[in-house]
Amino acid sequence: MSKEKTTESKELEEIATESEKIEETPEEAEPVAKPHKERQVKKIKPSTQVWKFYKIEGDQLKKLKKDCPRCGKGVFLSEHHDRDTCGKCGYTQFKQ
């Protein structure tokens, strides 16, 4: 019976040492909470504001810009100082 007791005590001692080892883990191992960086706000891409090319006069809708003759209706020509250009197909109308 005495032998069994000794083995038990040895096991207990081992467990105790293990627990001590766990306690001894250095503080560096703990994850340091870093301050969160401010999230970059995504820039919202400006949508094609086609509504700006129309104007309502009374009951009628008036177009402020020309349509592209190649692309058809709905595609407008951008106005420059000397020309009107289509951004879709590259059609250019020179002002005279």
Interface residue list for Zn ion (CB under 5 A): 68, 70-71, 86, 88-89, 91
**Least spacing, CB of residue 63 vs Zn ion, in Å:** 15
**Least spacing, CB of residue 93 vs Zn ion, in Å:** 10
Chain center to CA of 75: 30
**Least spacing, CB of residue 31 vs Zn ion, in Å:** 58
Question: By Cβ distance, which residue is nearest to Zn ion?
Answer: 86
Amino acid at 39: R
Is 77:86 a contact under the CB 8 Å cutoff?
Answer: yes
- CB nearer to Zn ion: give 58 or 72: 72
d(CA 79, CA 26) in angstroms, rounded, equals: 69
- CB nearer to Zn ion: give 15 or 89: 89
Residue in 33, 41, 91, 48 with CA at minimum distance from that of residue 67: 91
